[in-house]
Structure 1
Amino acid sequence: MAPCNTCDSIPSPLARKGNLYLWPPTAHTLGKIRALKQRAKIKKAPNAAADVAAIAVDTGMLETLLLKLTGVLTEEEVKDTRALFMDSDREPGLGDFGHIRPLSELVAFSDSAWLMDILRENRLISHFQPIVFADDTGRPFGHEALLRAWDADGDMVAPGLLFDRATQAGVLFQLDRLARTCAVEAAAKYRLRGKLFINFTPTSIYDPRNCLRTTLNLIDTLGVDRSQIVFEVIETEKVADMDHLTGVLSYYRRNGFKVALDDLGGGYSALSMLPDLRPNYVKIDRALITDIDKKETKAVITRRIVDMCHDLDIQVIAEGIETEREEAVLRDIRVDYLQGFYYGRPQAEPVTEKLAPPQEPAA
């Protein structure tokens, strides 16, 4: 089976000149676009149907046009309008419809040259944060791989900005795939021992047999033990298609990997997934962990979650620990593993020896 053409290829930059075709959601939206064309004296593209707004884009004017469109349309109209930008004068055909996207995505993509450069030049690296045994915090159980990126000036790009813009610009598939391969390559380079937790967003994998093929091939080529890798579902509360997520996790398990759910306790939906998904590990949402030593209700809820997971043969990781007092409560609650700045911040190289005694982060 061939690798995924979407995940394994970085989109080319938009052409400097061409035709923009817009399919508005309502006649009212279409009227607003036509009024803008008249006011700005924008040329009409050829071969346009009556219900399509077709705009000829002169060299270097696409960004200006998109800015004008977002100025006259509401946020919902920008999201619901479908767009296709073509670098030729021919009428869109059946082969082009797979490239139609929300206008909001086209706007974000046109404003994301910095992100495309990062992806094309692979200016990415994995940092590792240790996860320790609760009953022996000097002994690493594993590490979570966390993606880091640099812009053209050498400044680090905030991970949240990186993934948010990738989602908006329609390149989350590509970023998620690069994050997975980056983590595997770094684990092989440092001969990582223990478990390797690799984050993934379920919506970035539409068919695991295709989308994960490059990752699986790399794991085997580099000689990384599949049982060492734990694929961790992030943004659990945003999962809308349980059948799709179940299929992805089943594919991971069939291929010898472990799976984890992140942010358990942050909302009801993640808890309701446990009977069907039965992950090997869960991570308790840090909102429950912070100040757990000061708020009895947090301790009570966390204890119930831990007991329930142990009854289901699921191991529990508490993340976000920053103080000795939080650690003491979690050990009493019988959490299996601990993670947080108290044991170490993410760093380029994983821990290969016994950890130094933990320290509380400076205020």
Structure 2
Amino acid sequence: MARAWSLKSRPQGMPTMDNFELVELGTRDLKDGEIRVANSWLSVDPYMRGRMNDVKSYTPPFELGAPMQGGAIGKVIESRSDTYKEGEMVQHFAGWRDEAVLPADQAQSLPQLDVDPQAYLGQLGMPGMTAYFGLLEVAGAKEGDTVFVSAAAGAVGSTVVQIAKAKGCRVIGSAGGAEKCAWVESLGADAVIDYKSGTPVVKALGEVARTGIDVYFDNVGGEHLDAALAHGNQGARFAICGMIDVYNSGKATELRYLARLIGMRMRVQGFIVSDYMDRAAEFYRDMGGWLKDGKLKRNETVFDGLDAMPDAFLGLFTGGNTGKMLVRV
């Protein structure tokens, strides 16, 4: 019997296991145009926390009692569609479950790159596209820029570091703990701040960005955003991808340096990766080239089994991952 995780109740603050429920899915015959997929890899991502709240947003909230959703990679085990044959690997958005039944037009074949299938949930999937378009399109990073990246050891941040280096930028990353900082350094970052060291981020950034920063890629918000405002050069561009610092508390840190936006003519822009899905070919062209040239590395933190899905998700908010957080079914 197929199983799926559902949202049993809406969390207040940090989610707990009590907010999740593992339910059995009924089995039914496929309709014309549908496929049945045995999921192999499941993705958990910080944005999913927002979908647990019953508020209007760019994506609908999870329905209580219904199977949750997220990125997934799996093998077609039954098909009533001319698009996919049994045995083909596909990616889709019916995650948080071990088996998915969905219309064939809601699945996509995996691009033909020399990588493991799960890479399409991370560096060569939605997180990678977020990094690529956020850095190059939203922030307009160019050769010679000094780029500051928060959560630089995560799926998005680690890809930002590598794309920025490939584009000839000086890169400063922020990560928590010696092991993660070493990983970011191995990606080519010119300097890394350990935000867990006890030194305020604004001071630590000032010590390694003596001439300021031109681009800030924000995954965190809070103290990191304030530090970037403090050291932003004239015309600095901020790409606001996420603010994991406030996802559970709902309380934003005071931005003491916000007024510098005015005099330094900084630009701050939020973005959603879905705005750029029609340009995926650009992403795969460039990422495929960098991959071939050996300019891309990736890391994955893997939890095993569908039962581990909530633990993997909660680990995102406690620094439990280096690179992409995945569940292997």
TM-score normalised by L of structure 1: 0.30
Rg comparison, structure with higher value: 1
TM-score normalised by L of structure 2: 0.32
Greater helix share, structure number: 1
